[in-house]
């Protein structure tokens, strides 16, 4: 076999120009598509869903200190059992807690069990369901007596608790959370 020099086929100038234009159009379309996807991702990230890092142990075992969560900021409905991120006036970093009662519900605690509207809460997400001896004495803005007798929430209020009940600063300490304090609903952990 004899190595002959490879000759590249030369296209007529008009075909070469058309080929170059097709390539340029393809590259331009790809760049525009990438820019549109990036802009859409930024809109979703900043206005619809936002990442957040959990700080503290109050939601253990469901969420650990340092877990990364995705918070839906628009178009969500809150239901009992949902985990929310909210801002409390005068509070520090926005807390992440579980909603156990909503506007119109009556919350009661008998020293060992939480009740909503007279029914004991079924809480399989708790690591332990016992409360420390000083749990009731930690109630500050709410009195233990008020929760033992029952607290009825206003229509715009939520009662939130951490899943790590013995180590959570939540509604049993500072009272109900106003719905307009809610920043979003936790929709995922990554």
Give the domain ranges of the chain.
11-50, 54-189
Percent of the chain scoring above 70 in pLDDT: 83
Q: Write the DSSP assignment of 154-183 as a string of letters.
A: PTTEEEEE-SSGGG--SHHHH-PEEGGGEE
CATH of 54-189, picked from 1.10.260.40, 2.40.30.10, 2.10.109.10, 2.40.160.10, is 2.10.109.10
Please state, rounded to an integer, the average pLDDT across all residues of the chain.
87
39 by DSSP, 3-state: which?
helix
Instruction: Round to whole Å and give the CA distance between 91 and 163.
Output: 19
Q: Is the pLDDT of residue 7 over 80?
A: no
What pLDDT sits at residue 57? 93
Q: How many CB atoms lie within 10 A of CB 92?
A: 8
Q: Is the pLDDT of residue 1 over 60?
A: no
What pLDDT sits at residue 168? 87
What's the pTM value of the predicted model, to 2 decimals?
0.77
Determine which one of 17, 21, 55, 58 is catalytic: 58
Instruction: Respond yes or no: is residue 97 known to be catalytic.
Output: yes
Using left for φ > 0, alpha for ψ between -120 and 50, and beta otherwise, residue 64 falls in: beta
Q: How many CB atoms lie within 10 A of CB 1?
A: 3
- In sequence order, which ranges of the chain are alpha helices (DSSP H)? 13-43, 144-149, 171-174
Q: Which residue, among 164, 89, 80, has the nearest Cα to 130 in the 3D structure?
A: 164
Rounded to a whole number of angstroms, the CA Rg of the chain reads 28
Determine which one of 97, 168, 171, 185 is catalytic: 97
**What is the token pair recorded at 137?**
């004495």
Q: How many CB atoms lie within 10 A of CB 175?
A: 18
What pLDDT sits at residue 165? 86
Percent of the chain scoring above 90 in pLDDT: 56
Q: How many CB atoms lie within 10 A of CB 24?
A: 10
Instruction: Respond yes or no: is residue 55 known to be catalytic.
Output: no
Q: Which residue, among 168, 8, 178, 179, has the nearest Cα to 95 in the 3D structure?
A: 168
Q: How confident is the model at residue 22 (pLDDT cuts 50, 70, 90)?
A: confident
pLDDT single digits (tens) 30-75 = 999 999 999 998 888 778 999 999 999 999 999 999 999 999 999 9
């Amino acid at each position: 076999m004899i190595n002959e020099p490879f000759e590249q086929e030369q296209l007529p100038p008009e075909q070469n120009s058309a080929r170059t234009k097709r390539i340029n159009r393809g590259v331009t379309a790809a760049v525009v598509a990438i820019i549109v996807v990036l802009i859409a991702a930024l809109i979703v990230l900043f206005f619809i869903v936002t990442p957040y890092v959990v700080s503290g142990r109050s939601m253990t075992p469901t969420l650990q200190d340092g877990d990364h969560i995705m918070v839906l900021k628009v178009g969500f409905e809150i239901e009992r059992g949902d985990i929310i991120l909210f801002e409390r006036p005068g509070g520090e970093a926005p807390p992440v807690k579980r909603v156990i009662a909503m506007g119109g519900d009556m919350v009661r605690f008998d020293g060992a069990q939480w009740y909503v509207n007279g029914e004991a809460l079924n809480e399989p997400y708790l690591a332990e369901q016992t409360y420390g001896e000083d749990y009731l004495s930690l109630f500050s803005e709410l009195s233990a007596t008020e929760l033992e007798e029952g607290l009825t929430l206003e229509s715009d209020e939520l009662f939130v608790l951490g899943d790590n009940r013995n180590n959570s600063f939540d509604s049993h300490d500072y009272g109900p959370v106003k719905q307009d304090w809610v920043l979003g609903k936790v929709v995922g952990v990554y």
